[in-house]
Amino acid sequence: MALMIPDVMLAPLNPLANWVRANSLWPMPFATACCGIELMATGASKHDIARFGAEVMRFSPRQCDLMIVAGRVVMKMLPVLQRIWMQMPEPKWCVSMGACASSGGVFDTYAVVQGIDRFIPVDMYVPGCPPRPEQLIQAIIDLQDKIKATGTLQGVEFGKRTEHMGPLANVEMPGDFAKSRRVSLN
């Protein structure tokens, strides 16, 4: 029996746009430490992140829509992280991979930022020190579900996000307490 395909389909295009977005994530591997090696293992032959359409690792932030922050971020690196996040075009998402990126992990010291979500928005947290490759793959599947559940074809919600975009407020370097503006942690 031949499969009947209707000549005309009437459906909102939003799910189609979300489906496309969800299954063609281009990660920007912001790999700083141990989790970066697990990220490499996720991309390598055994775990093969390509099965979920997210294998196109691009090191240029302007080509990516998913930032995977793998590893701890320290004082000297945080301005770099923020700058790379600002350079990524919308729509974009951020995965905080590992305990160090999510909360500082075991490194409760003077130099390590206690969770990148204090300074940039994060969509998905992956626990573990470092997380197993399966956990990262699960996080990407979950993120795909999240992308599929939100978003519109025109990307109005992304437009709202970017309308206030301007130059980043000048980043004072740490230690310069006389001039620096203390940010509230709320």
Partner 1 sequence: MLNEYRYCNMPFDIIADAVKAKFVDVSTSEFRDNRRLHVPPAQAYDVLKTLKEQYGFNMLFELTAADYLKYPNATDRFGVVYGLLNMTTGERIYVRTFLNEPDLTLPSTFSLWKGANWLEREVYDMYGIVFAGHPDLRRILLPEMFTSFPLRKDYPLRGRGERHNFPVITRAES
Partner 2 sequence: MKKFILHPSSFLLANMPLEALATLPEGPDKDYLWTLNFGPQHPATHTTLRLILTLDGETVVKAVPDIGFLHSGFEKLGEDLDFNQYVTIVDRMNYVSPIANEIAWHLTIEKLMGIELTPRCKYIRTILAELARISDHLLCAGAQALDLGAFTAFLYGFQQREVIAEIYETISGQRFHPSYTRVGGLLFDVTDDFVRQVRTFVKEFPKTHADMCRLLNRNRIFLERTQGIGVLSKELAIDLSCTGPIARSSGVVRDLRKDEPYLAYGDFQSAFKVICAQEGDSYARYQVRMEEMLESLKIIDAAIENLPAGAVNVDVESKAVFPAQTSVYRSIESMIQHFELVMPNRQWSPPVDEVYGCIESPNGELGFYVVSDGTGVAYRARTRPPSYIHFAVFPYLIVGHQLSDVVAVLGSLNIIAAELDR
145 binding partner 1? (CB under 8 A): no
Q: Which of residues 123-142 bind partner 2 (CB under 8 A)?
A: 129-130, 132
Q: What is the largest CA-CA distance in the chain?
A: 79
Q: Which of residues 7-46 bind partner 1 (CB under 8 A)?
A: none
Binder among 1, 2, 5, 175 for partner 1 (CB under 8 A): 175
149 binding partner 1? (CB under 8 A): no
Q: What is the dihedral of CA 147, 18, 62, 49, to 10 degrees?
A: 70
How many Å separate Cα 40 from the centre of its chain? 16
Per partner kind, with CB cut-offs from 5 to 8 A, the member of partner 2, partner 1, none near residue 31 is partner 2
Which token pair is 83?
Answer: 């700058």
CB of 99: closest distance to partner 1 in angstroms? Answer: 16
Q: Which stretch binds partner 2 (CB under 8 A): 28-36, 152-160, 164-172, 177-185?
A: 28-36
Q: How far is CA 91 from each of CA 18, 36, 166, 181, rounded to the nearest angstrom? A: 11, 24, 17, 30
Sign, CA dihedral 37-142-51-25, equals: negative
6 binding partner 1? (CB under 8 A): no
Q: Report helix, strand or coil for 90.
A: coil
Tell me which residues touch partner 2 (CB under 8 A).
30-34, 36-38, 40-41, 44-46, 59, 71-72, 74-77, 80, 84, 106-107, 109-112, 129-130, 132
